[in-house]
Amino acid sequence: MKVCHKVADIQKYISYSRKEGKSIGFVPTMGALHEGHLSLLRACNTHSDISVVSIFVNPTQFNDKNDLEKYPKTIENDLLALLNEQCAVLFYPDVEEIYPSGTQLQQTYDLGVLETLFEGHYRPGHFQGVCQVVDRLFSIIHPNKVFFGQKDYQQCMVIKKLIALQPAFSNIEMHIVPTVREQSGLAMSSRNLRLSEDEKALATTIYQSLLFIKQSIKPGGTDILTSRAKEQLEQKGFKVDYVAVAHAITLEPVHHWDGKIPLVALIAAYLGNVRLIDNMILS
């Protein structure tokens, strides 16, 4: 596995690979890799000739400085995991390499309603920061295919929007890889490292609440289901930001379902001081 810290080095490698007619697949991460990330790399290896993974904890998408400081860093384990999964190239830059002109937003991305709902509402500015770093990474790597996890469902819809907004990205093929879960149903997340064993067991309530919605959904009103799921979480001690049923493409909330439009259920809740998110396709 080749490790590149500089933009010039990764671009030189990719340029050489392209001259050999090889396709470039890209998996952007913030490190603290787990099986969910590795599933993205496996998909990338399957669908691309060259797999590029980036590890970069992006400061512009954290609206809580404490959250940024607490984000887990496990680079030695990450390197070993990538080696075992036959990653071709790791791009591991510092902040100055990604943002040579500083971390202030260089432009505003027209994300429409996507950045006012759910994560956009509770983390103002978050998706602008996500778009800023993904725009920069895509411009550096120029991938043919990119791989993101369904676990961050709203982020996936934002990246789709970014690709549509930027003409330079029009040929990028986006793959959304299903969420990887522990045997308990808990969605794998780097934030799980901050949970105790007892908290990890309790955190499965989020998955159970999503399953309840999925198994109970039928044409008609949806608010009673989301209210019951919220109650389930609060009874177990969660502080709930939202439990929602939404259009699976636009993410606009659906309070009355016609039985036809595609749906996704979304949950964000705090367990102690750790904020967890999860989702489930309903139809």
User: What are the binding residues?
Assistant: 30-37, 61, 149-152, 155, 180, 188-191
Tokens of 197: 């064993």
b/e map of 2-32 (b: 16 or more CB within 10 Å)? Answer: eebeebeebeebbeebeeeeeebbbbbbbbb
Beta bridge partners of 268: 242, 277
Displacement of CA 132 from its chain's centroid (Å): 15
* Residues of the binding site for (R)-pantoate: 61, 155
User: What angle is formed at CA 14 by the lines to CA 8 and CA 19, rounded to 5 degrees?
Assistant: 125
142 labelled catalytic: no
| Count of CB atoms situated within 10 Å of the CB of 42 | 17
Find the catalytic residue in 37, 121, 175, 256: 37
Task: Tell me the three state secondary structure of residue 146.
Answer: strand
| Count of CB atoms situated within 10 Å of the CB of 65 | 9
* Residues of the binding site for beta-alanine: 61
CB neighbour class for 186 (10 Å; exposed up to 12, middle 13-18, buried from 19): buried
Positions marked active-site: 37
